[in-house]
Amino acid sequence: MARIVLGVGGGIAAYKVVDLLRRLTESGHRVHVVPTRSALNFVGATTWAALSGRPVTSEVFADAEQVAHVRQGQEADLVIVAPATANLLAKAAHGLADDLLTNVLLTARCPIVVAPAMHTEMWDHPATQANVATLRARGVTVLEPAVGRLTGLDSGKGRLPEPAQLATTCEQILSRGSATPDLAGRTVVVSAGGTREPIDPVRYIGNRSSGRQGYALASTAAGRGARVVLVAANVELPDPAGVDVIRVVTAAEMGEAVLASSTTADAVVMAAAVADFRPVDVAAHKLKKGQAEPAPIGLTRTDDVLVALVLGRRPGQVIVGFAAETGDESADWLEHGRDKLARKGCDLLVVNQVGVQLGFGTEDNAAVVLAADGDETAVERGPKHALAEVVWDLVADRLR
């Protein structure tokens, strides 16, 4: 059970944070809600107190005999601020302390997570971006806002990530137990899901990938302070908190998006199951069953995205591949993985054995991470975010 300070900024998205509070308390955590004065215009102190089971105030001089403005920050295992308005980001970046929440941010020595929410123009403003960069440079994990419907008829980047995803981020950071986000200031690209290569307007060649491992990698990287670009192929999962998502369908679209995003990335992790082949010809209309046997479907190779990344890598960039393998008469699954590492030339290759209810489409995973220098790291079967943590540990070591 962790001690969490939940700071609430004065934005309309404060109503969504009620659900985040519920999720954190139901997980057994002790949550102290610290709203700003403006936040109480959207959700009152009575609601926060009833759901947290603790007194709620925004004032520095309340409960003065307990020195709450210092004690809450000192004792916290995690501080999360949601929503963080442009004004609150500016105060935090410049060390202002005119209410209880900003005092807590100055005294906390635990991990701090900030989830901004505001209109797109406010988020894109150079002043806001400078404040975000300052906070990230100090080790604060500032999540990227989601894209979607904002206040009124506006839509764009600036939406608060969904409470369920914010709760997942909190749990991942607490399980790691480190106050320093070791990927802060880094940009990483992660691919996820399985590509689909069309046969006709209805049918396609695909695979069993659900995208869960790639999404776990993206969520974990965001929780470790990275700016994350997630290239997702045909995934039906909620967007991870604080991650920019690019949606694609085919291997060609995957390659284009990953290569374009990787030009400024410090690390690229290719967790997607990218098709090795695509039909030579795509029918313009749905193929009818008819009476005769169908004509064979001619296949041609798709471009190898991982090899293209390795050939065009930036200096110091870390590239990680994934290999979903099965054994055959020539070698077992791990030997095939070692051969693939030698052929691809990436820094790390995550090799996992796949099959029915094994690897693809499951909640857990097991793997061996092969390194170009000969090291091998075995990861026992467990939640996919646990494998993600190991991968980022190895990537962070190489980035250092």
Backbone angles phi, psi at 242, to 5 degrees: 75, 25
Instruction: Please state whether 43 falls in left (phi above 0), alpha (psi between -120 and 50) or beta.
Output: beta
Q: 147-161 in b/e burial notation, b at 16+ Cβ within 10 A?
A: eeebeeeeeebbbbb
> In the annotation, is 41 catalytic?
no
Neighbours of 134 (CB within 10 A): 17
Q: Give the Cα separation of 113 and 105 in Å (integer).
A: 10
Q: Which of 92, 86, 121 is nearest to 11 (CA)?
A: 86
* DSSP string across 234-249: S--SPPPTBEEEEEE-
Q: Which of 131, 207, 234, 365 is catalytic?
A: 207
Other C-beta atoms closer than 10 Å to the C-beta of 380 total: 10
| Residue 157 neighbours by CB under 8 Å, 6+ apart | 120, 123, 124, 144, 145, 146, 147
Three-class secondary structure of residue 231 per DSSP: strand
DSSP label at residue 331: -
Q: How far is C-alpha 353 from the chain's CA centre?
A: 24
Active site amino acids:
207
